[in-house]
Amino acid sequence: MDGSRKRLLFFYSGTGRFRYGVSEVFRHVLNGLDKKRFDPCLVITGTLDGPIEDLSNRVTVIELGQEGVKKAFFPLVKTIRRIRPAIVVSAMEHPNALAVMARLVSRHDCRLVLTSHGVFSARLAHMWSRREGWIIRNALRFGYPLADHVVCVSNAVRDDLKKYVSRLPESSVIYNPVLRSDNLPIVDPNEKKSGLIITSSRLADLKKIDEAISALKFLEERYHLVVMGDGPERGRLEALVAELGLDERVEFTGYVEDPFAWYRKAEIFVLPSMWEGFGNVLIESMACGCQVVANVSAWAPPEVLGHGEYGFLYEGGDSENLARVIREASESPKSLEKIVGYAQQFTDQRVARRYEALMEDLLGND
pTM for the structure as a whole: 0.96
pLDDT of 85-101, one tens digit each?
999 999 999 999 999 99
pLDDT grade for 283, boundaries at 50, 70 and 90: very high
Residue 366 has pLDDT above 80, yes or no: no
Is the pLDDT confidence value at 365 over 80? no
Q: Does the pLDDT of residue 27 top 50, yes or no?
A: yes
> Could you tell me what percent of the chain has a pLDDT over 70?
99
pLDDT digit string, tens, across residues 192-227: 999 999 999 999 999 999 999 999 999 999 999 999
Position 149 scores a pLDDT of: 98
How far is it, in rounded angstroms, from Cα 342 to Cα 340? 5
Mean pLDDT over all residues of the chain? 96
- Per-residue pLDDT, averaged over 99-121, amounts to 98
Rg (alpha carbons) of the chain, rounded to whole number: 21
Spatial contact of 21 and 117, defined as CB atoms under 8 Å apart: yes
Report the distance separating Cα 203 and Cα 318, nearest Å: 19
CA-to-CA separations, 110 to 8, 80, 115, in angstroms, rounded? 10, 9, 16
pLDDT digits (tens, 9 = 90+) for 128-147: 999 999 999 999 999 999 99
pLDDT of 1 reads 46
The pLDDT-based confidence of 2 (bands split at 50, 70, 90) is low
Is the per-residue pLDDT at 257 higher than 60?
yes
Give the pLDDT mean for 161-186: 97
pLDDT in tens, 32-85: 999 999 999 999 999 999 999 999 999 999 999 999 999 999 999 999 999 999
Confidence of residue 20 (pLDDT cuts 50, 70, 90): confident
Confidence of residue 4 (pLDDT cuts 50, 70, 90): confident
Band (pLDDT 50/70/90 cuts) for residue 336 is: very high
